[in-house]
Structure 1
Amino acid sequence: MALLLYGHPFSSYTQKVLVALYENATPHEFRSLAPEYPQHGAEWLQRWPLRTFPLLVDGGRDVVEASIIIEYLQLTAPGPVRLLPADPMAALDVRFLDRFFDLHVMAPMQEAVAGALTRDADKQREAMACAVEKLDRAYAWIDGHLAGREWAAGDAFTLADCAAAPALFYADWTHPIAERHAALRTYRARLLARPSFARAVDEARPYRELFPLGAPDRD
């Protein structure tokens, strides 16, 4: 039975898993949770009533949480691109960077988005101010970390880059990365040029109007 992935093309965490699947050309069936596919939503909720996605279904096993799904794929469907290093300490570094992008880039971006969805001007300003403060700190740290590196953890594309791609994509829409962070801006551009992420971005283009802060006319 083919792997099934339930998610939404515009979802950052869905894109994170799609990048991993596309990197290794892993056979799977994508079941979009967009409103035009109500049957997929019903199947997803039956399997995972906590209402988060993506959800990977592999036969009788349901796997949730994007980072866990990617680790599961490496264990069960490995390909030529190894997304977790074999060396345990190197793998720990990759897992740290994965957490960094999820917690310190993706999460503040989502705070700003949640504020915008309230339609309350005061809450919107407060959420954006909080997000900007957190993102500025994160941008500064990762810009320094990236000096001399092609990818987040070094020379190889890993789980950390799967996390970084959608996180930085949407974060820069929310609070643009300053020109002084040249290494980070170049890294984001390199991620956008990576075929796996470029494909995920293209598949999500029809849904850009969903971005509550307004999708910029770029990328």
Structure 2
Amino acid sequence: MTMAMYLHPLSSYSQKAKTAFYEKGVDFETRMLDGSEPIASAFAALWPIGKFPLLTDGDKMVFEATSIIEYVDNLYPETSRLIPEDQAKAAEVRMWDRFFDNYINYPQQRMVYVAIGREADDGEDCAKWKAAFEAAFGVLDHRLKGREWVAGDTFSLADCAAAPSLLYADWTHPIPKSYKEVWTYRDRLLARPSYARALDEARPYRHMFPLGAPVGRD
């Protein structure tokens, strides 16, 4: 039975999970969460929390993008490993996965929520979230010196997290050009076939990005 993933292509966490499947060459069925029935009702019944992506594999259910990637990586160990078998190296990959989710995706989402009125501004044009971005970009720029990928020598779970995080971060608060390593890394991620495929599948929905998708910045 083919695994099925409830998702929306524009979602950064959906893109993160899809990139892992494409990287490993593992098939899945897309269950599009665009509000249409009966998919919407099925998803609500399965997962009342309502956050996606959500993976089903027979009678098994896996929620959260990181857990989904861990699951498929363990299920198909013969394909490109996204989490190293060496436990010390695996811990490093997981650490940088959390970096992108917590220190780049989180402020990015806060700024979007402020823009659409779901959260209150801090009265200073989201100054604290912009400062959080700048701190994270600085750490990442230093980390990437002399590196192709953010953790280890091969594309990993951490890079699956990085690709959509840096895409939407730049759309929300443009990454300063002074962070040359971050820009080179972002370009490398956008060119990776697995993420490029996920990004192409999101293009028909770019108009839905609340802040407006910038022209010429993929």
Q: TM-score range by the shorter chain?
A: over 0.9
Residue 179 of structure 1 deviates from its aligned partner by 1.1
Return closer, same or farther for 1:80/1:128 CA change in 2, 3 Å cut-off.
same
The Cα offsets for residues 59-113 of structure 1, whole Å up to 9 and x where unpaired, read as: 0011001101100111113342100001100000000000000000000000000
Q: Give the conservation status (yes or no) of the 8 Å contact 1:32–1:40.
A: yes
Instruction: In structure 2, give the amino acid aligned to 1:67.
Output: T
Give the match for residue 26 of structure 1: 26
Q: Give the conservation status (yes or no) of the 8 Å contact 2:16–2:163.
A: yes
| Consecutive unaligned residues in structure 2, runs of 5 or more | none
Match of 1:123, SS state, is coil
Residue 38 of structure 1 deviates from its aligned partner by 2.5
Return closer, same or farther for 1:201/1:125 CA change in 2, 3 Å cut-off.
farther
CA distance in 1, matches of 2:183, 2:94: 22
Residue 41 of structure 1 deviates from its aligned partner by 1.3
Return closer, same or farther for 1:178/1:150 CA change in 2, 3 Å cut-off.
same
Instruction: In structure 2, give the amino acid aligned to 1:147.
Output: K
Counterpart mapping for 1:120-199 below 5 A: 123=121, 126=124, 128-199=126-197
CA distance in 2, matches of 1:180, 1:125: 27
Q: Give the conservation status (yes or no) of the 8 Å contact 1:111–1:127.
A: no
Give the match for residue 204 of structure 2: 206
CA distance in 2, matches of 1:174, 1:125: 18
Aligned-pair identity (%): 48
Return closer, same or farther for 1:119/1:104 CA change in 2, 3 Å cut-off.
closer
CA distance in 2, matches of 1:160, 1:126: 32
- Report the TM-score, using the length of structure 2 for normalisation: 0.95
Q: Give the conservation status (yes or no) of the 8 Å contact 1:4–1:58.
A: yes
CA distance in 2, matches of 1:44, 1:127: 36
Give the match for residue 38 of structure 2: 39
Return closer, same or farther for 1:162/1:119 CA change in 2, 3 Å cut-off.
closer
Q: Give the conservation status (yes or no) of the 8 Å contact 1:143–1:182.
A: yes
- With 39-48 and 136-145 compared, the bigger mean Cα shift is at 39-48
CA distance in 1, matches of 2:2, 2:87: 30
Give the match for residue 4 of structure 1: 4
Residue 119 of structure 1 deviates from its aligned partner by 7.7
Give the match for residue 111 of structure 2: 112
Give the match for residue 54 of structure 2: 55
CA distance in 2, matches of 1:197, 1:135: 22
Instruction: In structure 1, give the amino acid aligned to 2:161.
Output: A
Give the match for residue 71 of structure 1: 70
- Report the TM-score, using the length of structure 1 for normalisation: 0.95
Higher helix share: 1
Residue 154 of structure 1 deviates from its aligned partner by 3.0
CA distance in 2, matches of 1:194, 1:125: 39
CA RMSD of aligned residues (A): 1.5
| Consecutive unaligned residues in structure 1, runs of 5 or more | none
CA distance in 1, matches of 2:166, 2:143: 15
Residue 129 of structure 1 deviates from its aligned partner by 2.0
Q: Give the conservation status (yes or no) of the 8 Å contact 2:89–2:152.
A: no
